[in-house]
Structure 1
Amino acid sequence: MGPSPDRDATLSAPRFVGRDGALAALRDALARPAALVDVAGETGIGKTRLVDEWLLAEPGRPRRVLVAACLPFREPYTLGPLVDAVRQGTVGVGGLVLTELAGALRPLFPEWTGDLPPAPEAVPDATAARHRMFRALLELVGALHVDTLIVEDVHWADDATLEFLLFLTSRAVRNPPGVVLTYRPEDVPAGSLLPRLLTSRSTAGPRLRLELSPLDVDDTAALVSSMFGDESVSEAFARFLHRHTEGVPLALEESVRLLRDRGDVIRDEGEWSRRSVEELRVPPMIRDAVLERVDRVGGPARLVLEAAAVLGEPAGDELLAEVSGVDDPAAVTEVIDTGLLAERERNRLGYRHMLASRAVYDAIPVTRRRQLHARAGDALRTGDPPPLTRLTRHFREAGAVAEWARYTGLAAERAVGSNDHTAAVTLLLDLVAAPALDPVARAGFAARLAVLAVWRTEAVDDLHRAVVAVLREVVAGEGADRRQRAEIHYGLGRLLVQQHDYEAGSAELERAAHGLAHDPATAVSVMTYLAWPLTTPWPAARHRYWLRRAVATLPRARAATGEDLELLALQASAWLFLGDERGWDIVARFPTTAPTLWTRQKVSRGWSNFGGAAIVWGRYGDAKAWLGLARRAAEAEYGRLLDTITGNAVELRWLTGEWDGLLAEVTALVASVDEENPVRWSALLVQGALLAVRGEPDRAAEHLARELDRALSGGQFVVAVQVSAALARVLAARDDHAGVLAVTDRPMRWFEAKGVWIWGADIVPVRVAALCGAGDVEGAAALSAAFAAGLGSLRAPAPRAAALTCRAMVVAARGDHARAAAEFGRAADAWDRLPRPYEAWLARQRRGSCVLAAGDRERGLALLSEAYQGLAAMGARADADRIALLLRGSGVDVPRPWRGGRRGYGDQLSPRELEVVRLVAAGHTNRQVADALSRSPRTVATQLNSAMRKLGVSSRTALAVAVARHEVRLPEPD
């Protein structure tokens, strides 16, 4: 008799096979402090099994491990995986030593409010609140003495969880736990923060990436053998399974169980095989194997499996019974016997694999599925507190629109209370986009959605674009009253501006401003934004109209809110960017101290704006002071504002001639920030300008041209004007007058139409020079005269010095060299007073050329030699070389400059590097050094790295030793 099928063959859980190397690497990495390990692989490849094996290894070693599991909710709740992990890791926090900071955790752990400190003062800024919550959660993890945090299926993690992991693994955190992440690369959504976490260079400890591959045929045979008590498996059987499962362990296990259940597994002459190679086609998808097993259980057990799939997460017996309608222990036992469900946590049953859960869920008939979701919602709504996010899902899928809407509103507000605006927006978007919702109710939810979407801190993503689309649809339809329509226009306008669609966004904000009488503070904010001339090519009159409206509305806004600092700052900035000195009158009355967090919230952005405006006006001392105030306030709480301040700061250093280390810093900034970061275009401007003056224009021209195209297509007035001026300087270094005129043409037309001449300090002189160089002297004269007339009596040092330069260039182009020399002298003095040394030396160079052309050879060559020395000392190589060529042609002996770097330093420390070294050697952190020297932390890091490279040391300790041994001569402190 031949072999027969054996349906009663006992199957064991498969042994851990084919991963010894990965396990050893994981063990070695986690033996070191603060390790970050990511385990990547497809569904069923064995990521969780690898981590479980590590947990089981060395049982005598004391460990404190938290395991967080990310679930594929459509609306993940704030820090949900981490919150659940902490709940599983401790029964309470009553015995823990926690500071007042832990009070921020009350929204996450409402059941522990009796043991947590009081909630701290509310923080208006979402970014600051989230950062505080992260610090509080980190303190709790430390109090629990966690040495390893495991986060499974992190591709499903919400943004807040990923941001916390970025924070936890950064060098800023002292003594962090080791972190293990498991994820499926193919399921990482677009725009996720996970790639940034996986590639971050700022992690505190060692990094390890394990990418698990499918098993080969030999390992396949070993795995299957382990399921049959280590008995032999035929080579044909192993190859068959490997071919149809591609060696994925979960698919192998499920397929073997299906074959056994069907009786297709046979034992012949001591080894296991299949009954026939041709009779059974094992499906490639695990789903089919799962459904085969579901079909073999009885009716009540199947109902329990369906209920568990609908619930989507581990549930207790009572909940399963209520949802399934089956209160039969035998049915639960039968379900467990299938191997599909297992005890996941504290007497709760859940699917062993999410894929199996999804397979069962998809197979449930639609009407039955709706009924189960309705039961789940009814069962869960009695919870204390009720699981709002889960309730929205269940009532949505049940088609119970009224209940869905109710719990969506509650869940969204709870998310807002936790500063998780992304979760709130996702919930509301799903509801507002539903065609079944009543138009009036839809309009109300859309108005709330519009406001909350503006509060998100994430960059423009698919969610952002989806909100814009649905808001446009709602506002074009019926159901919204005047107030709701205004709020929708407001949110839509702000979102479009964030997408850099400034024209469309400003148009929506104009519509909003007319309907915001009920909210005068927001109305003033909107009107003031519309008054800003930075982002659209609107004429100045249109901006001033809205600024006058804002001023008229301000008293009502003050009466409604009891505050005016933020609104005053906005208005002062608008006046200044419009070139109106009334702004400085407001600035003079503005506070320069912020003793409380609330005050910093109100004034820090104003300080930043005042610094930016002072740069435009040419009040560089004021700019440095305001930016210093803003930086000290922003570094603690506001990352995005800090980027704006950094951008202004590097631009100020370029203008004032503080070039030491600046090219390396801005090059690093351009390479390290995304295209939406406000620091990027400032860094590109400075990079292009420095490369041009140092004789390397080609490296900058391509980047600047691309940035100019983006600014022009987005209608960004200021960016277009300033980037075109920077690109024009690069082209001017090649004497490409036609190129300069081409790249400045459209921005210049915007500039002239807008009529805000204070922005002309860079673009007007370079265009006037190109017009003169191209032979259009009258065109240059007309532009120069318009510039001077547009400035009028405005006390703006930089534009006025630029106007003097323009007038001098026109006079020189007309051949009156003696008068032109005097005009260039006045321009040089004006630039010196700012100070703006590079422009001053260029003006002196032109003065020398005019004196030489007027016939005074000796004096002219002396002036040119002086300009040569000044420009060479600054590092303006291209300009110095051009003057040197002229001087040598006139018989003047000019030494060949050293090309190894800025003259006088070379491998020696620069004065700015010496200042940093002195403070670091005294034990100060980079942030403390930055505060002391009024520099950005990025600048300090760049200068410290440069100093360590020059000194041949690789650590701060070695640097301190070198200083102690007097190997470094430090400057005396001021």
Structure 2
Amino acid sequence: MLVGRADELRSLVSAGTRPPSVMMVEGEAGVGKTRLVTELLGQPELAGRRVLAGRSQPLREPFPYGVVLEALRDAGRYLPDARPLNGVTGVLRPHLPELGAHLPATPPALGDHRAERHRFFRAVRELLDALSPVLLVVEDLHWCDDGSRQLLRFLMAEPTRDTSLLLTYRREEVPGGIPLGGAYRPAVGTTSTVLQLRPLDADGVRGLAGELLGGEVSAEFAALLHERTAGIPFVVSETVHALDPQGAMHADGMAARRLLDAVEVPVLLRDAAVERLAGLSVTARRMTEAAAVLGVPATSQLLGAVAGLTPRRARQALVLALDRHALLELEDCRYGFRHPLARQAVYGTIPGPDRQELHRRAACLLRDQSPKPLVQLAHHSRKAGAFADALTYGEAAADAAASIGDLATATELLCSLLSEPGLASSDVDRMAVKLSRLANNGVAQHDVTSALERLLSDDRLSRTHSGQIRLSLGLLLMRQAGGLDAARIQVELAVNDLGHRPDLAGRGMAVLAQPWIGTSPLAEHLRWLDQVDDVIATTTDRTLTLTLQANNLPSRLHTGDRRALATMDTVSTAVSSAEQQRQLARLHANLADACAWIGHYRRGASMVRSAVELASDCGAPYLIGIARSTGVHIDWLTGRWDALDDRARALFEEYRELLPMTSELSLVLGLLATARGEWDRAAAHFTAVGPDEPENAVTPVVLATHAGIAGMLLSQCDDEEAAARAEAGLELLRAKGVWPWAGELLPVAVEAFCRTGREEAAAALVDEAERTLSELDAPLAIVALVCCRGIISAHRHDHVDAVKFFHEASDGYERLTAPYPAALAKERLAQSRLVMGESDAAESFSGLADVFAELGATRDAARCRHTYRATGAVAPSRRGRRGYGDELSPREQDVARLLADGHTNREIAEVLFLSRRTVEQHVASVLRKLKVSSRGELVTASR
């Protein structure tokens, strides 16, 4: 697929179909000129044109008229059907013996070389005229001889009526910068198009990489690839071809950078660099090598000093390097390479001793700058063999990066330093502790995890610090898919090793106290919670108090402890350090999460806002991610669904390696898809949560996922499977013992049990939950119990009680600001009133359909409309309502979304409660309005 060139292709097609025309395409090497020409020649609009193509060669002395004659060699296949040739074309016989059978006799010589040249030019034009309609393509005009340029200027000045010329070139390599050797002015009546083909932007690089790899790459990977290749399509392609496809499609952050850094310079790029260097003088080559060693845009003075040249010789050498395009002016008065691979290619040609000396000079020169470029100094010192200096500068750079909140750079620097085999034990201890402190505030995962794992098996790490490193490793593992079980083991071992550090031991215990981790029963978490509370009561360390409260208070709230929110109100928001602010941000983020799961939605939304503000101010990206994903969850719960799926997907892309975020976001995406009747999409999102491996998942997310899957199965009338899924969720809930999380699971479990003839089991479940929840702070679960009693009453045909319970439940949900379950309760209420024969019950379904539609619950809105129609009620006349013209109506939007998801007409009819005939009409209207010819084209366009 041609990526990012749609506008340029349209321009060329337009010009090529309006002869006489001249099309000029300029662009640097590898930018895709030939690819664009190839695509143009395959366009159906140009199918009737006779194509003659020639390509110039980079020869020291190009053949006279070589590129044009190369193109005309192929004219023989068209000449039998061409118009009769003018006698002047006979002068081409000596130049094109391949056409001898078709050309007239050679006319006598004129004896004047200027007249001979003019007659030759006329012969070429006459031949093109006889062949018309014709498209003459000349590629790489910058390598043409002067005769070819003059001939092309002649053809363009007096074009024949049905001839098009297409020329490509690199302006930077054209002698004098003028492609045709003189100014080009289009002749009167000629269609003229001049295109400057630019590199792809980051989105274009992402699209091209996806096409080459056969799957989508992350935005972060695409941005790094764009940075590395400057967006030049050929360089992108060569780089991508050197990658492992699976690794590239799942790479983010440091992993993506490491993957790209490991790519060797493609052979063609390396050879081009060597060839370019060979054409330079010794001094220009030294300047180019200095630029490769420095690695960043540098001034002429710095390049010359690193190269060991006087200012005058350095200036002369730089001019030559620029003239030969070995270097470019990337910023004002700063010079470097077009893209990192070009720099890497040159760097690889420098002999080892010379390279070491250049790095030594660079370090000496940069040492005098203010402020010192610490990262560069560390790099040059290491490459120069000065390992002590590399350690000093590297650690200082990590400290500086951490101080300004650049945790990714600080982490990367420390990981790099710790990989050095020559470090002393004291250095390892010091930097390992720094790394462990940074690890839990950043979003880098697997690289840091690997570094900490290596440290724990490193003999240079003292036993005194191993517990702290192990604790950090456990905290990191908790964020990773499949890592919870291993995380608990590491944290428990760390707590045993940290007897000499009660502050760190307390942090480990606070982690083990968190009830949302895995399948450990509540009693075990309560034991740890009590121990942490003892530490909080005895410590005078404000930072430690906040750290432990950030775990314990939300954990207590999760379990339904009525004292938790009141205690939260007593926590001071005053902080005296960045670390205290981070812990306060963590407290707010964790409390927001707990509020979301048990039903304090207003308080949770407020906590999300304060957590993001606090974390942003102190530079804690992981906490920002936690708060933002909780915010998405609360938006689902409180009915703020507008563009919610886009926001959830964007966050998923950003934090795809972080389990607490991705599992919650997958849940929300699954619930949104269920509300729209997108069953396959919903099932895929629910599966991503990992509900069948709860020991390595976030427990409340798993419980809500069981509820979501059971609800989806009930919508599809698969009652037995729904009951089985609900049983799986209840089994986990009972094993865990945290009943405040039952608010979403209880109603679908009771409904599934009642539908499968197990009303007694449903009633027993409600009684069990009520006994457990009676003394707990669990607002969502308490309201859900009322709804459950209504469901049981309705199945027992006791609709008087059912109406009472559903009315109470809908009011309860509204007090929680939970409009979706409130509307579902109102729908159940309307069903019971309808059965009881109340005259105005049917009208409720029309209003509820509008409520669901406004939320975005397509499936529920369609069900209410269907129920309304089934009552025999007559919908109000549409007269006076707006017409949609070429826009999609709301119903057509529903159909279009399901079509794009690959649903058949029958499936769409079932989801939207419409007849097959109505769906067929909607489908035809959707395809017409979206200007696509088939549903397959719509599916492709939506991806």
Per the normalisation by structure 1, the TM-score is 0.54
Letter matched to residue 486 of structure 1: G
Structure-2 residue corresponding to 1:736: 718
The one of 386, 405, 408 equivalent to 1:419 is 405
Report matched runs for 1:905-924 at 5 Å.
none
Query: Are 1:370 and 1:398, in contact at CA under 8 Å, matched by a contact in 2?
Result: yes
The one of 200, 220, 225 equivalent to 2:140 is 220
Tell me, yes or no, if structure 1 residue 407 matches structure 2 residue 393: yes
Structure-2 residue corresponding to 1:796: 778
Structure-2 residue corresponding to 1:666: 644
The one of 875, 890, 895 equivalent to 2:852 is 875
Deviations 1:725-759 (A, max 9, x none): 22322322232213323544544433222110110
Q: Residue 763 of structure 1: CA displacement?
A: 0.9
Query: Are 1:291 and 1:359, in contact at CA under 8 Å, matched by a contact in 2?
Result: no
The one of 468, 474, 477 equivalent to 2:449 is 468
Q: 1:589 to 1:324 in 2, by over 3 A?
A: closer
Letter matched to residue 447 of structure 1: V
CA distance in 1, matches of 2:802, 2:744: 20
Deviations 1:666-715 (A, max 9, x none): 2443455434568887677667657756x745476345434444895851
Report matched runs for 1:477-516 at 5 Å.
477-503=458-484, 504-515=486-497
Structure-1 residue corresponding to 2:558: 577
Letter matched to residue 581 of structure 1: R
Query: Are 2:327 and 2:336, in contact at CA under 8 Å, matched by a contact in 1?
Result: yes
Question: 3-state DSSP class of the match of 1:455?
Answer: coil
Deviations 1:194-251 (A, max 9, x none): xxxxxxxxxxxxxxxxxxxxxx98463446669x9999999xxxxxxxxxxx966778
CA distance in 2, matches of 1:620, 1:352: 54
Deviations 1:86-142 (A, max 9, x none): xxxxxxxxxxxxxxxxxxxxxxxxxxxxxxxxxxxxxxxxxxxxxxxxxxxxxxxxx
Structure-2 residue corresponding to 1:373: 359
Query: Are 2:612 and 2:627, in contact at CA under 8 Å, matched by a contact in 1?
Result: yes
CA distance in 1, matches of 2:489, 2:273: 51
Deviations 1:65-93 (A, max 9, x none): xxxxxxxxxxxxxxxxxxxxxxxxxxxxx
Greater radius of gyration (CA): 2
Q: 1:393 to 1:883 in 2, by over 3 A?
A: closer
Report matched runs for 1:141-180 at 5 Å.
none
Q: 1:312 to 1:799 in 2, by over 3 A?
A: closer
Tell me, yes or no, if structure 1 residue 386 matches structure 2 residue 367: no
Query: Are 2:401 and 2:409, in contact at CA under 8 Å, matched by a contact in 1?
Result: yes
CA distance in 2, matches of 1:323, 1:651: 56
CA distance in 2, matches of 1:482, 1:629: 39
Tell me, yes or no, if structure 1 residue 285 matches structure 2 residue 271: yes
Deviates more, 1:747-756 or 1:305-314: 305-314
Q: 1:314 to 1:623 in 2, by over 3 A?
A: closer
Report matched runs for 1:832-911 at 5 Å.
834=816, 839=821, 859=836, 861=838, 868=845, 871-872=848-849, 874-875=851-852, 894-896=873-875
Q: 1:740 to 1:599 in 2, by over 3 A?
A: same
Letter matched to residue 647 of structure 2: L
CA distance in 2, matches of 1:307, 1:838: 65
CA distance in 2, matches of 1:337, 1:640: 49
CA distance in 2, matches of 1:719, 1:450: 28
Structure-2 residue corresponding to 1:434: 420
CA distance in 2, matches of 1:485, 1:415: 25
Question: 3-state DSSP class of the match of 2:697?
Answer: coil
CA distance in 2, matches of 1:45, 1:884: 55
Report matched runs for 1:169-208 at 5 Å.
none
Q: Residue 367 of structure 1: CA displacement?
A: 3.9
Q: How many residue pairs were aligned?
A: 644
The one of 526, 535, 539 equivalent to 1:544 is 526
CA distance in 2, matches of 1:572, 1:817: 42
Question: 3-state DSSP class of the match of 1:536?
Answer: coil
Query: Are 1:453 and 1:491, in contact at CA under 8 Å, matched by a contact in 2?
Result: yes
Query: Are 1:768 and 1:809, in contact at CA under 8 Å, matched by a contact in 2?
Result: yes
Structure-1 residue corresponding to 2:431: 445
CA distance in 2, matches of 1:899, 1:596: 63
CA distance in 2, matches of 1:734, 1:399: 68
- Give the number of the structure with larger relative contact order, counting CA–CA contacts within 8 Å between residues 6 or more apart: 1
Structure-1 residue corresponding to 2:71: none
Listed as ranges, the gaps of 5+ residues in structure 2 are 12-24, 34-135, 154-167, 177-267, 885-943
The one of 567, 579, 583 equivalent to 1:586 is 567
Structure-2 residue corresponding to 1:784: 766
The one of 549, 559, 577 equivalent to 1:568 is 549
Q: Residue 760 of structure 1: CA displacement?
A: 0.2
Question: 3-state DSSP class of the match of 2:515?
Answer: coil
Query: Are 2:666 and 2:686, in contact at CA under 8 Å, matched by a contact in 1?
Result: no
Q: 1:454 to 1:868 in 2, by over 3 A?
A: same
* Fraction of identical pairs, as percent: 28
Letter matched to residue 471 of structure 1: L
Query: Are 1:607 and 1:629, in contact at CA under 8 Å, matched by a contact in 2?
Result: yes
Structure-2 residue corresponding to 1:310: 293
Q: 1:905 to 1:673 in 2, by over 3 A?
A: farther
Query: Are 1:475 and 1:488, in contact at CA under 8 Å, matched by a contact in 2?
Result: yes
CA distance in 1, matches of 2:276, 2:878: 71
Structure-1 residue corresponding to 2:349: 363
CA distance in 2, matches of 1:815, 1:686: 34
CA distance in 2, matches of 1:733, 1:482: 58
CA distance in 1, matches of 2:721, 2:673: 18
Letter matched to residue 480 of structure 1: L
Deviations 1:789-825 (A, max 9, x none): 4324224332123234445655776788887777767
Q: Residue 406 of structure 1: CA displacement?
A: 1.9
CA distance in 1, matches of 2:447, 2:623: 26
Q: 1:429 to 1:801 in 2, by over 3 A?
A: same
Query: Are 2:663 and 2:689, in contact at CA under 8 Å, matched by a contact in 1?
Result: no
Q: Residue 439 of structure 1: CA displacement?
A: 5.4
Q: 1:445 to 1:252 in 2, by over 3 A?
A: farther
CA distance in 2, matches of 1:689, 1:335: 61
Q: Residue 594 of structure 1: CA displacement?
A: 11
Letter matched to residue 472 of structure 1: E
Structure-1 residue corresponding to 2:704: 722
Q: 1:229 to 1:605 in 2, by over 3 A?
A: same
Q: Residue 620 of structure 1: CA displacement?
A: 4.9
Letter matched to residue 875 of structure 1: F
Q: Residue 573 of structure 1: CA displacement?
A: 1.4
Letter matched to residue 874 of structure 1: V
CA distance in 2, matches of 1:733, 1:800: 24
Query: Are 2:635 and 2:641, in contact at CA under 8 Å, matched by a contact in 1?
Result: no
CA distance in 1, matches of 2:140, 2:394: 47
Query: Are 1:283 and 1:289, in contact at CA under 8 Å, matched by a contact in 2?
Result: no
Letter matched to residue 349 of structure 2: A
Structure-1 residue corresponding to 2:895: none
CA distance in 2, matches of 1:356, 1:700: 43
Q: 1:222 to 1:724 in 2, by over 3 A?
A: same
RMSD: 5.6
Letter matched to residue 508 of structure 1: Q
Question: 3-state DSSP class of the match of 1:434?
Answer: coil
Deviations 1:934-957 (A, max 9, x none): xxxxxxxxxxxxxxxxxxxxxxxx
Listed as ranges, the gaps of 5+ residues in structure 1 are 1-18, 26-38, 48-215, 235-245, 255-281, 908-974
